[in-house]
Amino acid sequence: MKLLLVEDNQELSGWLSRLLTQSGFAVEQAFSGTDAAHLLLTQAYDAILLDLTLPGLNGQTLLRSLRAKNNQVPVLIISAQNTLQDIIAHLDLGADDYLAKPFDIQELEARLRSLLRRASGKANPVIFCGGLSYDTNTKQFSSKGAVLGLTPREHAVLETLIRHSGKTVSKQNLADNLCTLDDMVSAKALEIYIVRLRKKLEQSGAQILTLRGLGYMLSYVAA
């Protein structure tokens, strides 16, 4: 899952980025609202962590611009502005959730997981595709009850596919969820991850189908 972290405190941003990366997210940082707006012109994200007090465009203006363009990316505001009026105003403006600073990283990750579940239309924290299951809380894949051993990038590919199971996911979308602008993934590398995953999914009934010219789809094929 690819996140945009918009926070002008570079020390805090670096700390959050490291922790979220360790939890399996691909994180890009913006230190101003203007930088974030430029990134959003060319990049797609699964969620945005947005501070409100920013140089350049402030968080309110950036959020208002996103929603005016009908960009429905989930937005979690992280702010020291923590009055009830602040929270209500920004939720009404289009934010999906609001977390007051200082906060615990575990609560932040739990709220992110909830946002991503709602965005994918899957309220249950455990997602199934045949005998394959993915617990979005523990970030653990299992095949017929047995834990799957996956590399971080295999995990990232399979997480994207299972969150969109039954739907086509483009190669570009998969590659974007593996990396940030500073860490690109080649088409050849992506193909290798797909081959490895297919072997690991053989007993689950879940298959990664290739849709030529379109991308890949995770689907359950009954025996």
The domains of the chain are located at 2-120, 126-220
DSSP label of 165: T
Q: For residue range 163-187, what is the model confidence (pLDDT) as tens digits?
A: 888 899 998 888 877 766 556 677 8
Whether the full predicted model's pTM is greater than 0.85, yes or no, is no
Spatial distance between the Cα atoms of 162 and 125, rounded to a whole number of angstroms: 12
What pLDDT does residue 118 have? 83
Q: For residue range 86-99, what is the model confidence (pLDDT) as tens digits?
A: 889 899 989 999 99
What pLDDT does residue 174 have? 86
Instruction: Give the dihedral of Cα atoms 66, 45, 88, 19; nearest 10 deg.
Output: -150
- Per-residue pLDDT band at 145 (split at 50, 70, 90): confident
Q: Calculate ∠ Cα 207-208-209, nearest 5°.
A: 105
- Per-residue pLDDT band at 223 (split at 50, 70, 90): low
**Residue for token digits 């051993």?**
149
Average pLDDT over residues 70-87: 90
Average pLDDT over residues 7-13: 95
What pLDDT does residue 213 have? 86
- The 3-class secondary structure across 61-121, one letter per residue, is HHHHHHHHCCCCCCEEEEECCCCHHHHHHHHHHCCCEEEECCCCHHHHHHHHHHHHHHHHC
The pair of three-digit structure tokens given for residue 164, joined into one six-digit string = 């969109």
27 has a pLDDT exceeding 60? yes
DSSP label of 46: S
Q: Indicate the CATH number for domain 126-220.
A: 1.10.10.10
DSSP-derived 3-state class of residue 175: helix
Q: What percent of the chain has pLDDT over 70?
A: 96
Q: For residue range 35-74, what is the model confidence (pLDDT) as tens digits?
A: 999 999 988 899 999 999 999 899 999 999 999 998 989 9
Average pLDDT over residues 194-218: 93
Beta-sheet strands, E only, within the chain: 2-6, 26-30, 47-50, 75-79, 97-100, 126-129, 132-135, 140-143, 146-147, 206-211, 215-220
103 has a pLDDT exceeding 80? yes
The CATH number of 2-120 is which of 3.40.50.2300, 3.30.70.260, 3.40.50.970, 3.40.250.10?
3.40.50.2300
